[in-house]
Amino acid sequence: MIQRDEQTATVADREDAGAFVRKPVAFDTRITSDGSSPWPVEPERYRLIVARACPWANRAVIVRRLLGLEPVLSLGITGPLHDERSWRFHLDPGDRDPVLDIEYLREAYLRADPDFTGGVTVPAVVEVASRKLVTNGFQQLTLDLSTQWTAYHRPGAPNLYPEHLRAEIDEVNAEVYRNVNNGVYRCGFATSQDAYERAYHALFGTLDRLSERFATRRYLVGDTITEADVRLWVTLVRFDAVYHGHFKCNRQKLTEMPVLWAYARDLFQTPGFGDTIDFGQIKQHYYGVHRQLNPSGVVPVGPDPTNRLEPHGRAELGGRPFGDGTPPGPPPPEERVPELAPA
């Protein structure tokens, strides 16, 4: 059965008395620079396929942009809506990816494994020449962009996964993934009251601890933006638009958590973060595809996204966003998202 969400198990796949359980990805092959994988790092050989709606894909878009990999790793963008046949390129002319010449991402999965029947997810990396899926290993992909593609990083690219902080980044990422990134899904797709409440309390308990942490430090680990900030932020930026109402994560809105709200605004206003976000597509996907949660398919108009441009005051905590590096330049014209407008 095709998965009907970014990396989720199907609604029927439940364990632990109604708890949502995320299935592992199907293709976790890595692209490496040291010969340890059948897929070597090579410019223009691969195409990164994402959806603007998906937080897991958003991570890859941000990291690719911060590192300046646009010239060597092209970007294909599916539309926000899909059906049982998987993510579809319905925003492109002729409803086909202009490079891979496929209508559904599933076609690349079947080229890699003709007998594949599992979930089709983004982000995914596809070899352009063969149009075969290489990997949909979303957890490792961004780390490899930082560590395996260094020969093609732009001048001034930040170090998002510095060696001396990796143990701490990995530890923080594990809790954030369990209780926040995946935690919102555990709330939204729980099918029992107990499972929902466990996920709810774990989510907000972690957000409270993060608020305490950010009260005295600008970034999650160290004094610069790292992989840890990227992973946390993609959930925070979607919180009020989707997770608060649609997934019943409704103790508070992000705008009602002052420290986290300021942190989220700080990153939204940082090049490479807010300029990857399309709130229209985010809401179209969640409210339009999750018919088990929103049977009508009606997409809410609000909340107003422009408040993310309000001053955040976080610079007074110190920190250097890009360390010894520099901000990325503007995104390529074909990758630009709509400017924020009042709801």
What residues are annotated to the active site?
A: 54, 185
Considering just the CA atoms, what is the radius of gyration of the chain in Å?
19
Number of neighbouring beta carbons within 10 Å of residue 329? 13
Q: Which residue is it, tokens 């957000």?
A: 207
Q: Two tokens at 312?
A: 């955040």
Sign of CA dihedral 335, 108, 101, 7: negative
Do the annotations mark residue 87 as ligand-binding? yes
User: Residue 62's closest CA among 237, 230, 280, 238?
Assistant: 230
Q: Rounded CA gap, 342 and 304, in Å?
A: 5
Burial 10-24 (b: 16+ CB within 10 A, else e): ebeebeeeebbebee
Q: Are 249 and 243 contacting, i.e. CB atoms less than 8 angstroms apart?
A: yes
Could you give the angle at the alpha carbon of 299 between the alpha carbons of 267 and 208, nearest 5°? 40
Q: Which residue is it, tokens 């900030």?
A: 229
User: Residue 185's closest CA among 231, 239, 136?
Assistant: 239
Q: Determine the residue type at 142.
A: T
Binding residues for glutathione: 87
Binding residues: 87
